[in-house]
Chains A and B, each alone.
Chain A
Amino acid sequence: MATTQLKDPPISKRLAKNIKRNFIERVIEIILMFSALTAVFITLGIVYILVSEAAGFFKDVSVYEFLTSRQWSPLFEDAHYGILPLVSGTLTTSFIALGIAVPIGTIAAIYLSEFASHKARETVKPILELLVGVPTVVFGYFALLFVTPILQKIIPDLPTFNMLGAGIVMGIMIIPYIASVAEDAMRAVPMQMREGSYAMGATKFQTAIRVVTPAATSGIIAAYILGISRAVGETMVVAIAAGQQPTLTFNPLEGAATITAYIVQVAMGDLPHGSLGYQSIFAAGMVLFVLTFLFNILGHMARKRFAERY
């Protein structure tokens, strides 16, 4: 470019270069746009695969049976196709997990955001982020071989595979996530609001509970919803520790398969492509996708609200 300016070639030549330049720029923009479109294609791909495979499933199984039958045994001689047992397993483990993660995560977030010294926060926050990245299969190990044996000492007739242990470990796993997202929401509340509250003579606790928390509500709710979505979609912990037997029960002391555990169980075996058992994992996956999709949209909306508030 510099040489063209020095030598000053005829205008026609410069224009020719411009055309080439513009063309390249255009091509690059189109390439970039197509790679951005990949995200859309992935979503479409997910929906297409789930719907088309599940459609094969619903050819043989009525939607009514799928939603109301109380048994799920697609691989047995006496096959039943009711999703409810898998949903009950998913809900029970998620409920236990959230019962642990929501209170602890919230308290930890409030403490970190409002009470902890700058140094403590700068130390704990990276640790939380580090813990969010620990692979879930490792947590499955903890659930099966550490937490369940301890629980068995307290509750003697607890089976080896139970939803309680899996749920507790899942809760521990989600704590850093909820704490981290909720803390971000609380840090986003402007300092003036806290200062106003202190100026009125409020203590730190009063400010935290009555000024900061309400102001950050939508962000905190977003953290909860994203936590729920993680719990519902969590696979390895429940596949390892919650058992593989689909049972319609909400009793955490029993073992039961979740939607995700069922998919893993079927995928581990070698089912022929196109069989009803093979299609059943896509039907189960569709339920899971719809559930988490709803939670993600809710969480996204809640997040957006808290971003626009101030």
Chain B
Amino acid sequence: MMKENMSNSEESLIKPKTLEEVRAMIKSHKRNDFIFSSIGLLTIIFALLTLLILFVDLVMDGYPKLNYEFFTDFPSRRAAHAGILSAWVGSSLIMLVTFVTAVPMGVATGVYLEEYAPKNWFTDIIEINVTNLAGVPSIIYGLLALGLFVYTFHLGQTIVTAGLTLGLLMLPIVIVSTREAIRSIPVAIREAAYAVGATKWQVMLHHVIQYSFGGILTGIIIGMARALGETAPIITVGALTFIAFLPPAPLTSVPPFISFEWLQSGFTVLPIQMFSWLSRPEHAFHINAAAAGAVIIMLTLLMNGTAIWLRYRIRKNIKW
């Protein structure tokens, strides 16, 4: 269609026409306009509708399983009694480790690159690395974790390994969003703080990081949502697919009330649980997989939705 249209109008440019011909030309161009905008609209509706159908299908398949017991049962050989208790507990604990590793490091890197880093080859190398890491397939992080955390540092196939792996995966997302958030803060704010004698770090801690908190939070939530849904790196790290126990509780009744034993525990997570049900041939387990999938989708959509809403609000309420 594009080619036809091109040759059409090129001809018309070369030799001017009678009024009728010009009118016909305008008409055909307007028709092309209309045709394309219809195609565009239909394409978008088609794409969104397909995805909607897929999600509705998933939720409908899993609906019969989505009850209270599903969340409080361990996985089982009998599909009807299988639940996601160990999976969601595992996911939450791993998210905790991920959060603790990725957020301080990501924010620190973002602040450094945006505010401290001199413009030289050294900084360039760091920047290229961050950009590249964002595009490395997640399974490669899994191989890194398998070789490094499991077999070099001997952390084992445990929650702490999985959490660190996902933390590395999430790092570039936090870095990029921190930098964007910091960049949007006017120089005048920094200058005002310097003028009353604040040191660079005081300016960062009391002003820049606080004002860009919303933007940083957006990145953190998006990163956590991604980490929550990530399956491949966790498989290579060595998640178990059938776990009928919970990791030791982080809070204990005897002093010092906090225990870190759970870090050393074996684990499974929601996407792995879904994957393992999905790879079974029995249909009953596929229903479980659909229910687990519905839970995962709800969680990630909720998190990403919050992040996008947050960003929208920040854009709207810019004070300077």
Size category, B interface: 35 or more
Known: A127-B48, A138-B229. 11 other contacts (CB 8 A): A29-B201, A32-B116, A49-B143, A50-B140, A111-B36, A137-B229, A172-B51, A175-B47, A264-B235, A267-B146, A267-B236
A217 an interface residue at 8 Å Cβ cutoff?
A: no
A79 at the binding interface (Cβ < 8 Å): no
Q: Which residue of A lies closest to B50 (CB)?
A: A172
Decide yes or no whether B208 CB sits under 8 A from chain A: no
A: interface residue count bin: 35 or more
Nearest residue (CB) in B for A284 is: B143
Partner of B143, one of A134, A137, A281, A292: A281
Instruction: Given A43-B129, A203-B30, check contact A288 B111 (CB 8 Å).
Output: no
A145 contacts B286, C-beta separation under 8 Å: yes
The answer to whether A267 touches B142, judged by C-beta atoms less than 8 angstroms apart, is: yes
25 contacts between A and B (CB under 8 A): A33-B112, A35-B112, A36-B126, A37-B126, A39-B109, A39-B175, A53-B147, A104-B47, A111-B41, A124-B44, A124-B48, A133-B301, A134-B297, A135-B296, A140-B275, A141-B289, A145-B286, A203-B30, A203-B32, A236-B232, A236-B271, A239-B275, A267-B146, A292-B136, A292-B137
Q: B222 contacts A133, CB within 8 Å? A: yes
- List residues of A whose CB falls within 8 A of some B CB: 1, 21, 24-25, 28-29, 31-33, 35-40, 42-43, 45-46, 49-50, 52-53, 104, 107-108, 110-112, 115-116, 124, 126-127, 129-131, 133-138, 140-142, 144-146, 172, 175-176, 179, 203-206, 208-210, 226, 229, 232-236, 239-240, 260, 263-264, 267-268, 273, 281-282, 285, 288-289, 292-293, 295-297, 299-300
B44 with A46: CB separation less than 8 A? no
Among B67-75, B186-194, B304-312, the stretch that binds chain A is B304-312
Evaluate whether A126 and B308 lie within 8 angstroms (CB atoms) in the complex, with A39-B172, A299-B135 already known.
yes
The complex places the Cα of A167 from the Cα of B12 at a distance, in Å, of 43
Candidates B58, B147, B235; contact of A268 at CB < 8 Å: B235
Chain A residues within an 8 Å CB radius of B249: none
Query: Do A107 and B43 contact each other (CB < 8 Å), given the known contacts A126-B312, A236-B231, A285-B143?
Result: yes
Instruction: Let me know if A134 and B126 touch, CB within 8 A.
Output: no
| Assembled-state Cα–Cα distance A37/B61 (Å) | 47
In the assembled complex, B252 has its CB within 8 A of some CB on chain A? no
Flag if B275 contacts A240 (CB, 8 Å).
Answer: yes
Query: How far is it, in angstroms, between the C-alpha of A189 and the C-alpha of B71 when the chains are bound?
Result: 50
Cα separation A24 to B39 with both chains bound (whole Å)? 61
Assess the B304–A108 pair: CB atoms within 8 A.
no
A260-B235 Cα distance, complex, nearest whole Å:
12
